[in-house]
Structure 1
Amino acid sequence: MSYEMIAIFMFATMMVMLFTGQRVFGAIGGVAAVAALFLWGDGGSAIPFSSAMKLMKWYPLLTLPMFIFMGYVLSESKIADDLYKMFHVWMGPVSGGLAIGTIGLMVLVSAMNGLSVAGMAIGATIALPELLRRGYDKRMVTGVIQAGSSLGILVPPSVVLVLYAMIARQPVGQLWLAGVVPGLLMATLFILYIYIRCKMNPALGPTLSEEERNVPRGEKIRLLGAGLLPLIIFAAMMVPFVNGWTSLVESSAIGAMTAFMAAVVKGRMTREVFENSVRQTLGISCMFMWIILAALGFGAVFDGLGAVNAIKGLFTEQLGLDPWMILILMQLSFIIMGTFLDDTAMLVIVAPLYVPLVHALGFDLIWYGVLYTITTQIAYMTPPFGYNLFLMRAMAPPEISLRDIYGSILPFVMIMVSALILIMTFPQIALWLPEYVYGR
C-alpha cells in the first residue's frame, strides 16, 4: 500500500471513530499509535513518548490553566452579572440597547475567559431571561447570544489560538494581537445590524420604560466601575506582555491572580467558588493536554509519511487548482466539520495536514490562524449540527424551539461570512496590529 493510501486510510478511520462517539483524543491518538506500529514496528512506540516529552517541555502551555482559572473565577464569582447590570442601565434607552449590551457583555467575557462555552453559558443564564422578560423578539435574542458567544475563541486571550500556536509553531502573542481587530470588527458589525434592525422595527427590541431608566447617577457610576473591572484585569495582564516586561506565562499568572484578588476584594471568593473554579480548570486543562498529545502523535506520523507533499501535489499539479482555491476549499471543509465537531477537535484533526500546506502555498500562518478561527465560529452556528445551536437548545427556555434557534442565526452567519471575506481580501486587517507592536 502506498504512503498516500495509508494517509487516506488513517484519516478515514479516525473520522469513522469520531462518528461512532469515541473520545476525540482516543480516536486521534489510537489511530496514530496503530499506524506508527504498523509502519515502523517497535520503533513506532517512540512517537507517543516523543510527543509527550515535547508537550511537557512546551513552556507556554502553562498559560492554559491560568486563563481557564481566570475565566471561571470571574464567572463563578458573578462578576459577569455586574457587567450585564451596567449594560442594562447605560444601554436600555437605545432601540435594541439590551441586545447591543449583550454583545458588549460577550466581548468582555471573551477577554476574561477565552472560551466560547463560557460566553454561551453566561449569555443564556443572565441575558436571555432578561431580554425575553422585556419583550425582545425570541429569534433576535437567541441569535445575539449565539453570535456574541462565538467571539470567545477570537478575542484574546483565546485558548484556541494558544493551541493553534503550538501546532503551527507560531508566536502566541502575535496570534492574539491578530485576533483583536477582526474580533472588534465582527462585534461592531453585530451591533450595527441590531441597531438598524431594531430602529426599523422597534417591536424586536423595545427600549426600557421611563421607570426603569430612572436610575440615580451614583448607581450608574457604581455599575460603570463594576463593568470596567474586567478591562482592568485584561490591561493588567496584557500591557506588561505587549511591552516586553513579562513573558506570556508570567502575564497569564498575573491575570489569574488579579481575577482572584478582585473576587476576594468584592467578598465573593467563597470556598465553594474556589473549589468549583479549580475543579473545572483541572478538568478542561487535562482534556486539552490529552488532545494536544494525540494531535502531536498524529502529526508526527503524517510528517513521516510525507502526506502533506502528496496532498499539495494532488491539488496543484493533478487537479490544477491555484493556492486561493485550495484555501477556500480548506475553509469550506472546516464549516462542514464544524457541524459535528468542536473547534479543538477540528484543529487537531486537520492542522497536521493544513498548516504545512498553507505554509507551502505561501500564505502567512498568523493570518491563517485568524481565518481558521472565524471559520470555526461560522461552523459553530451552521445547521444541521452546529455546536452552538445545541448548546442554546440545552440552555434556552421551552418557549424557544429548535426551529427558532435555527432561524435566528442566518443574519449573523451572513455578517461573519462578510467579515471573513473582508479579512481574506485585506490581510492587513489581521496583520496590522501584530506588525505594529512586534515590528517597532
Structure 2
Amino acid sequence: MSYGMIATMMFSLMMLLMATGQRVFAAIGAVASIAAILLWGNGGVEIPFTAAVKLMNWYPMLTLPMFIFMGYILSESKIADDLYKMFHVWMGPMPGGLAIGTIGLMVLVSAMNGLSVAGMAIGATIALPELLKRKYDKKMVTGVVQAGSSLGILVPPSVVLVLYAMIARQPVGQLWLAGVIPGLVMAVLFILYVAIRCRINPSLGPVLSAEERNVPMSEKLRLLGAGILPLGIFAVMMVPFVNGWTSLVESSAIGAMAAFLAAILKRRMTRVVFENSVRSTLAISCMFMWIILAALGFGAVFDGLGAVKSIETLFTEQLGLSPWTILILMQLSFLVMGTFLDDTAMLVIVAPLYVPLVHALGFDLIWYGVLYTVTSQIAYITPPFGYNLFLMRAMAPPGITLRDIYSSIGPFVAIMVLSLILIMIFPQMALWLPDYVYGK
C-alpha cells in the first residue's frame, strides 16, 4: 500500500471517529498513535512521546493558562458587566448607540479572554435582553452579538492563535500583533454598518428615553472609570511586551495578576469567584494541551509519510494550479468544515497538511494564520450549521428563534468576506504591526 493511500485512510478514519461524537483530541491522537505503531513498530512509540516532550518544552505555552485565568477572573467578578453599563450610558443617546456599544463590548471582552464563547455568553445574556427591551430590531442585534463575539479568536490574546503558533511553529507574539489591525478593521466595519443602517431607519435602533439619558455627569464619569478598568489591565499587560520590556510569558503573568488585584480592590474576589475561575482555567487549558499534543503526533506521522509533498505535487504539477488558486481552495474547505466543526478541530485536522503546503507555496505563515482565523470566523456564523449559530440559539432569550438567528447574519458575513479579501490583497494589514514591533 502506498504512503499516499495510508495517509488518506488515516484522514478518513479520523473524520469517521469525529462523526461518532468522539472528543477531538481522542480521535486525532488515537489515529496518530495506532498508525505510528503499525507503520514503524516499537519505534513508532517515540512519535507521541516526542510530541509530548516538545509540548512540555514549549515555554510560550505558559501564556495559555495565564490569559484564560485573566479572562475568567474579569468575567466571574462581574468587572466585564461594568463595560456594558459604561456603553449603555455613553452611547445610548445616539441612534443604534447601544448596538454600537455592544460591538465595543465584544472587542474589549475579546481582549480580556481570547475565546469567542466568552463574548457570546456576555453579549447574549447581558447586552441582548437590554437591546430587545429598548425595541431594537431583533434580527440586527442578534447579528451584532454573533459577529462581535467571533472577534474573540482574532483579537489578542487569541487562544486559537496560540494553538496555530504551536502547530505552525511560529512566534505567538507576532501572530497576536498580526491580528490587531484586521480585528479592529472588522469591528469598525461592523460599527459603520450599524450606524449607517440606523441613521437611514432610526426605528431599528431607537435612542434611549429622556429619563434614561438624564444621567448626571458625575455618574457618567464613575461608569467611565469602571468601564475603562479592563482596558487598563490590557494596557498594563501589552505595553511592556510591545516595547520589549517583558517577554510574552511575563506579560501574561502581569495580566493575570492585574486582573486578580483589580477584583480584590473592587471587593469582588470571593471564594466562589476564585474557585470557579481556577476550575474553568484548568479545564480549558488541559483541553487545549491535549489537542495540541494530538495534533503534533498526527503531524509527525504525516511528515513521515510524505503526505504534504504528495499533495503539493498533485496541486502544482499534476493539476497545474497556481499558488493563489490553491490558497483560495484551502479557505473554501475551511468554510465547508466550519459548518460542523469548531475552529480548534478544523485547525488540528488540516494543519499537518495545509501549513507546510502554504510555506512551500511561498506564502507568509504569520499572514496565513490571520487568514485562517478570519475564515474560521466566517465559518462560525455561516448557515446552516455554523458553530456560533447554535451557541446563540442556546443562550438567546426565548423571543429569538433559529430563523431570526439565520436571517440576522447575512450582512455581517458579507463584511467578514470583505475583510478577508482586503487582507489577501493587502498582506501588510496583518504584517505591518509585527514587523514594526519586532523590527525595533
TM-score scaled by length of structure 1: 0.99
Amino acid at match of 1:41: G
Partner residue in 2 for 1:320: 320
Contiguous gaps of at least 5 residues in structure 1: none
Equivalent residue, structure 2, for 1:201: 201
1:408 aligns with 2:408: yes
Q: How far apart in 1 are the matches of 2:196 and 2:331?
A: 30
Match in the other structure for 1:147: 147
Aligned to 1:8: 8
Residue 389 of structure 2 corresponds to which residue in structure 1?
Answer: 389
CA distance in structure 2 between the partners assigned to 1:223 and 1:198 by the alignment: 25
Q: 2:128 aligns to what SS in structure 1?
A: helix
Taking the aligned partners of 1:267 and 1:330, their CA distance within structure 2 comes to 49
Task: Indicate whether 1:253 and 2:259 are aligned.
Answer: no
Cα deviation, 1:264-299, whole Å, max 9, x if unaligned, reads 000000000000000000000010011111000000
Q: Which residue of 1 aligns with 2:176?
A: 176
Cα deviation, residue 430, structure 1: 0.8
Q: Deviations over 1:137-168 (max 9, x none)?
A: 11111100000000001111111111111111
| Counterpart in the other structure of 1:158 | 158
- Partners of 1:399 and 1:95 lie apart in 2 by 23
Q: Secondary structure at the match of 2:234?
A: helix
Q: Identity, % of aligned pairs?
A: 83
Counterpart CA distance in 1 for 2:132 and 2:159 is: 31
Task: Give the corresponding residue for 1:434.
Answer: 434
Q: Which residue of 2 aligns with 1:281?
A: 281
Matched, 1:244 2:262: no
Corresponding position of 2:190: 190
Q: Any idea what SS the aligned residue of 1:398 has?
A: coil
2:21 is paired with a residue whose SS is coil
CA shift for structure 1 position 87:
0.3
- Rounded to whole Å, the distance in 2 between the matches of 1:139 and 1:17 is 37
Per the TM alignment, residue 16 of structure 1 is displaced from its structure 2 partner at its CA by: 1.0
Q: Which residue of 1 aligns with 2:114?
A: 114
Distance in 2 between residues matched to 1:11 and 1:109, nearest whole Å: 36
Which residue is 1:131 aligned to? 131
Deviations 1:368-398 (A, max 9, x none): 0000000000000011111100000001122
Shift of 1:337: 0.8
Instruction: Report deviation, 1:399.
Output: 1.4
Is the counterpart of residue 94 in structure 1 residue 91 in structure 2?
A: no
Shift of 1:240: 1.1
Look up the SS of the partner of 1:163 in the other structure.
helix
**Aligned to 1:5, what secondary structure does the other structure show?**
helix
Matches for 1:306-317 after TM superposition, within 5 Å? 306-317=306-317
Cα distance in 2 between the residues matched to 1:434 and 1:248: 13
Offset of 1:252 from its aligned partner?
0.4
Could you say which residue in structure 1 is the equivalent of 2:103? Answer: 103
Residues 219-238 of structure 1: pairs in structure 2 closer than 5 A: 219-238=219-238
**In the aligned structure 2, how far is the partner of 1:203 from the partner of 1:239?**
41
Q: Distance in 2 between matches of 1:372 and 1:200?
A: 34
Pairs within 5 Å for 1:32-51? 32-51=32-51
Count of residues in correspondence between the two structures: 440
Which amino acid in structure 2 is aligned with residue 403 of structure 1? R
1-side partners of 2:344 and 2:61: how far apart? 15
The one-letter amino acid of 1:284's match is I
- Quick one: distance in 2 between partners of 1:243 and 1:351? 31
In structure 1, how many angstroms separate the alpha carbons of the residues matched to 2:431 and 2:289?
A: 29
Tell me, yes or no, if structure 1 residue 291 matches structure 2 residue 277.
no
Following superposition, the deviation at residue 66 of structure 1 comes to: 0.3
Query: What residue is the counterpart of 1:375 in the other structure?
Result: 375
Report the residue type matching 1:292 in the other structure. I
Which residue in the other structure is 1:52 paired with?
Answer: 52
Please report how far the alpha carbon of residue 171 of structure 1 lies from its aligned counterpart in structure 2 after TM superposition: 0.9
Q: Structure 2: how far apart are the matches of 1:436 and 1:289? A: 31
Amino acid at match of 2:190: F
Q: Look up the SS of the partner of 1:367 in the other structure.
A: helix
Equivalent-residue separation in structure 2 for 1:429 and 1:297 (angstroms):
33
Residue matched to 1:211: 211
Match of residue 19 from structure 1: 19
How far has the Cα of 1:34 moved from its partner?
A: 1.1
Q: Which runs of 5+ in 2 are unaligned?
A: none
Report the alpha carbon displacement of residue 200 of structure 1 after superposing the two structures with TM: 1.1
Q: Distance in 2 between matches of 1:229 and 1:309?
A: 50
* Deviating more after overlay: 196-205 vs 66-75: 196-205
Cα distance in 2 for residues equivalent to 1:404 and 1:418: 23
CA distance in 1, matches of 2:327, 2:9: 23
Please, what TM-score do these two structures have when normalized by structure 2? 0.99
Equivalent-residue separation in structure 1 for 2:422 and 2:99 (angstroms)? 25
Q: How far is the alpha carbon of 1:63 from its aligned partner?
A: 0.5
Are residue 167 (structure 1) and residue 140 (structure 2) matched?
A: no
Q: Give me the whole-angstrom Cα distance separating, in 2, the residues matched to 1:83 and 1:243.
A: 27
Query: What residue in structure 2 maps to residue 351 of structure 1?
Result: 351
Once the two structures are superposed, what CA deviation does each residue of 1:5-64 show, in whole Å capped at 9, x if it has no partner?
A: 111111111111111111100100011011111111111111111111111111110110
Which amino acid in structure 2 is aligned with residue 164 of structure 1? Y
Question: Structure 1: which 4+ aligned runs deviate by more than 6 Å?
Answer: none
State the distance in 2 between where 1:146 and 1:77 align.
Answer: 23
In structure 2, what is the Cα distance between the partners aligned to 1:113 and 1:51?
27
For 1:431, the aligned partner's letter is L
Residue 424 of structure 2 is matched in structure 1 by 424
